[in-house]
């Protein structure tokens, strides 16, 4: 494991420990209130403020952050500690003793101890990574360190065995993070939400000495942006104290010993309610800030995955026009879900490799779908040679039902089996036979043949196990059997918590599938069974053009399969 890998692992471990500490503090607050009730300690009037130190400081130079307004190279951020002052009644001896002897408190203290050890280890790893750098220039040194962390993130994603063995071979320190066609990394939109800047801010939270002027500006910008994001979680401005310096660096630390002393004082003054509220406040701040940091680290990792995948797609693409189109789309942010879709499809492909398929397979992707405003070249759905063809079944502006989808997926659907009916169960003024498009081709819409001819952008959304469409598909599978060898069905079903955010363009799916097939024995013909109803809003699609490209139906049309197809 490289130094950068160890460093990244320790950063995630530190965040996890802070989250665990928060859980213990909430439990401790509950125990304190329960014990207070058992002891029947009366309420006392007193004033105090929540006391905790959730210090999040960026970079080094603590003194400049708290004294005289001297210019600091980086932004300081801390959860403030305001000392409480209140006149209490008699000391709650039993409650204090219970609090100090609590097993939960000891567990929190042990977690805090481990986190402090990790903070020291993080500093050592930063120093080691700096020593490993071949760069002499200070700015190149910092760029090198960030690059190594980004590469560690890519390895953490599990992509390295397939794509990473040559990554960054051509990188020159201080130029860009990875080799890139057209210098994609120079465009900030190509690397999601200026991930380099946010990463600099996160890294500086843990420990990064500022040694170069250019990098200092990057870290200041990263710190400012991260501060805005973290401040939304409710972290307060520093009132006093709260920073921990280790080896000259300021690390993200929750000052538990100081907080325990203040909680003890509150309890002794019979301000038990204030103490338990302070514990919950501290826990909430720890959880919110830790979740924010984890989210941004995961977002950066996702950006690295997307870039790694698009880099290799462009590298492997044999069509220069398609390659340029992918690069342009990536710069616009259109491939943000590429990594997630790649992992989803790769899992399915790895399972199918274990089965007795031949080298050439038919993959049917089953999803909900629609067509939207924009148009794309048809050959962009065949970006790599691992996909031999993409076949669409329903005409444009047409819905497909479960009968037709199952017949396609099992390879028994032929053009003569198409039946067109009205989508409306009641009230349709147009007879079913009028829903059949005129001049309907006697073959399917094969996009390899379409070349660079423009087709509508197809948007796919996940299926739900409760959907009638998918339940009918499953029922047909039970009734007539699964697909035969060389036919693979991939239903687009995600965990419930991911469904709402995972509508995706079909070109992202086809690219992810092309990449997932790299390194396997498979070459695939991809079949899409999804509705292609026109859902354009800003600019209505040209129906006459769609008829000339393949075929287009009138509104409220469904394509189903002739029932006789299932009797064979």
In whole angstroms, what is the distance from residue 61 CA to residue 272 CA?
37
Looking at the chain, the number of H-run helices and the number of E-run strands are 17, 16
Q: At what angle are helices 195-206 and 213-231 packed, to 10 degrees?
A: 90
For residue 59, which of 235, 241, 192, 252 has the smallest C-alpha distance? 252
Residue 527: predicted pLDDT: 98
Is residue 346 located within the same domain as residue 275? no
Residue with structure tokens 């693409």?
317
* DSSP class per residue in 170-206: TPPTTT-SS--GGGGGGSGGGSTTTHHHHHHHHHHHH
Same domain? For 492 and 394 the reply is: yes
Q: Are 77 and 56 in contact (CB under 8 A)?
A: yes
Structure tokens at 72: 């600091």
Q: Check whether residue 417 and residue 274 sit in a common domain.
A: no
What average pLDDT values come out for the chain (568 residues) when binned by 10 residues? 92 92 92 72 35 32 29 29 36 76 92 90 89 81 79 76 45 34 38 60 63 49 50 32 33 69 85 87 86 84 85 90 92 88 94 94 97 94 97 96 96 95 74 84 96 96 91 94 93 76 90 94 97 89 94 93 86
Range of the domain at 272: 3-304
Give pLDDT tens digits for 319-345. Answer: 999 999 998 998 888 898 999 999 999
Exposed, middle or buried, 415 (CB in 10 Å: 0-12/13-18/19+)?
exposed
| CA dist 500 → 139, 267, 484 (Å) | 42, 46, 33
Q: How many CA atoms lie within 13 A of 531 on its CB side?
A: 22
Tokens encoding 307: 């870039």
- Last residue in a domain, options 257, 286, 304: 304
Are residues 77 and 177 located together in one domain of the fold? yes
Give the separation between CA 544 and CA 548, rounded to whole angstroms: 6
- Same-domain pairing of 376 and 286: no
pLDDT, position 379: 97
Domain identity same for 471 and 393: yes
Is the domain of 395 the same as that of 542?
A: yes
Is the separation of the CB atoms in 316 and 384 below 8 Å?
yes
Whether residues 300 and 354 share a domain: the answer is no
At residue 380, the pLDDT reads 97
Tokens 């024995």, residue located = 521
- Residue 145 belongs to a domain: yes
pLDDT at 92: 63
Instruction: Express each pLDDT in 18-36 by its tens digit.
Output: 899 999 999 999 988 887 6
Half-sphere exposure of 384 (CA within 13 A, CB side): 24
| Biggest alpha carbon–alpha carbon distance for the chain | 93
> Which pLDDT does position 85 carry in this prediction?
36
Give this prediction's pTM: 0.75
Q: Are residues 292 and 371 in the same domain?
A: no
**Which pLDDT score, from 0 to 100, does residue 225 have?**
52
* Within-domain flag for 327: no
Helix, strand, coil % (nearest 5) of the chain?
55, 15, 30
Contacts of 443 (CB under 8 A, 6+ apart): 415
| pLDDT value of residue 510 | 98
Count of structural domains within the chain: 2
Which residue, 260, 257, 201, 259, is CA-closest to 229? 201
Q: How far apart are CA 293 and CA 503, in angstroms?
A: 26
Residue 466: inside a domain: yes
Residue that has been written with the tokens 């280890």 in this structure = 121
Structural domain ending residue among the three candidates 304, 329, 346: 304
Q: Is residue 310 part of a domain?
A: no
Burial 529-548 (b: 16+ CB within 10 A, else e): bbbbbbeeeeeebeeeebbe
- Quote the pLDDT of residue 269: 82
- Dihedral angle of Cα 150, 153, 157, 162, to the nearest 10 degrees: 50
3-state SS track over 356-376: CCCCEEEEEEECEEEEEEEEE
Q: Specify the DSSP class assigned to residue 566.
A: G
In this structure, are 490 and 442 located in the same domain?
yes
Residues in the chain: 568
548 in a domain, yes or no? yes
Could you say which of 261, 281, 304 is where a domain stops? 304
Secondary structure in 3-state letters for 377-434: EHHHHCCCCCEEEEEECCCEEEEECHHHHHHHHCCCCCHHHEEEEECCCCCCCCCHHH
Q: Rounded to an integer, what distance in angstroms lies between the CA atom of residue 515 and that of residue 340?
A: 12
Residue 66 domain flag: yes
Cβ neighbours of residue 507 closer than 8 Å, sequence gap 6 or more? 329, 376, 380, 381, 457, 458
Asked if the structure places residue 404 within a domain, the reply is: yes
> What is the rounded distance in angstroms from the CA atom of residue 46 to the CA atom of residue 318?
75
- Residue 368 shares a structural domain with residue 475: yes
Question: Are residues 349 and 474 located together in one domain of the fold?
Answer: yes
Question: How many Å apart are CA 98 and CA 103, to the nearest integer?
Answer: 9
Q: How far apart are CA 316 and CA 13, in angstroms?
A: 37
Domain presence at residue 471 = yes
């Amino acid at each position: 494991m490289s130094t950068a890998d160890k460093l990244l692992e320790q950063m995630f471990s530190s965040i996890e420990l802070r989250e665990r500490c928060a859980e213990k503090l909430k439990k401790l607050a509950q125990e304190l209130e329960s014990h207070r009730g058992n002891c029947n300690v009366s309420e006392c009037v007193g004033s105090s403020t929540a006391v905790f130190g959730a210090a999040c400081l960026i970079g080094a130079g603590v003194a400049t952050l708290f004294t005289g307004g001297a210019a600091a190279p980086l932004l300081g951020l801390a959860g403030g500690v305001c000392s409480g002052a209140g006149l209490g009644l008699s000391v709650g001896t039993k409650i204090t003793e219970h609090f100090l002897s609590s097993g939960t408190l000891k567990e929190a203290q042990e977690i805090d101890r481990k986190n402090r050890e990790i903070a020291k280890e993080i500093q050592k790893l930063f120093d080691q990574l700096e020593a490993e750098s071949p760069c002499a220039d200070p700015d190149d040194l910092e760029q090198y360190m960030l690059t190594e962390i980004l590469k560690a993130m890519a390895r953490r994603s599990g992509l390295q065995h397939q794509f990473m063995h040559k990554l960054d071979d051509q990188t020159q320190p201080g130029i860009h993070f990875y080799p890139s066609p057209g210098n994609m990394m120079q465009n900030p939109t190509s690397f999601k939400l200026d991930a380099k800047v946010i990463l600099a801010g996160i890294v500086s939270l843990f420990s990064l000495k500022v040694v170069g002027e250019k990098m200092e500006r990057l870290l200041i910008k990263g710190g400012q942006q991260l501060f805005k994001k973290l401040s939304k979680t409710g972290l307060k401005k520093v009132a006093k104290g709260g920073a921990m310096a280790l080896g000259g660096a300021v690390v993200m630390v929750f000052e538990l010993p100081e907080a325990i002393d203040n909680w003890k004082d509150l309890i002794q003054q019979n301000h038990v309610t204030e103490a338990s509220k302070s514990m919950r406040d501290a826990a909430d701040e720890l959880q919110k800030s830790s979740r924010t940091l984890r989210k941004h680290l995961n977002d950066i990792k996702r950006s690295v995955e997307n870039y790694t995948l698009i880099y290799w797609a462009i590298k492997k693409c044999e069509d220069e026009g398609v390659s340029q189109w992918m690069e342009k789309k990536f710069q616009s942010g259109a491939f943000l879900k590429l990594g997630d879709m790649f992992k989803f499809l790769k899992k399915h492909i790895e399972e199918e490799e274990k089965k007795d398929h031949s080298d050439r397979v038919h993959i049917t992707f089953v999803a909900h779908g629609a067509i939207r405003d924009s148009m794309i070249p048809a050959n962009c759905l065949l970006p790599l040679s691992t996909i031999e063809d993409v076949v669409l079944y329903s005409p444009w502006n047409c819905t497909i039902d479960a009968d037709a989808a199952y017949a396609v997926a099992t390879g028994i659907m032929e053009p003569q089996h198409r039946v067109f009916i009205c989508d409306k169960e009641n009230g349709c003024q147009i007879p079913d036979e009028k829903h059949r498009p005129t001049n309907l081709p006697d073959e399917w819409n094969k996009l390899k043949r379409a070349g660079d001819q423009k087709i509508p952008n197809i948007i796919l959304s996940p299926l739900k196990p409760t959907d009638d469409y998918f339940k009918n598909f499953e029922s047909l599978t039970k009734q007539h059997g699964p697909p035969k060898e060389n036919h693979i069905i991939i239903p687009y079903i995600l965990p419930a918590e991911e469904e709402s955010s995972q509508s995706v363009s079909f070109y992202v799916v086809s690219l992810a599938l092309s990449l997932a097939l790299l390194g396997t024995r498979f070459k695939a013909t991809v079949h899409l069974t999804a509705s292609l109803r026109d859902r354009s809003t800003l600019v209505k699609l040209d129906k006459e053009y769609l008829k000339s490209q393949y075929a287009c139906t009138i509104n409220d049309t469904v394509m189903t399969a002739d029932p006789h197809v299932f009797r064979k």
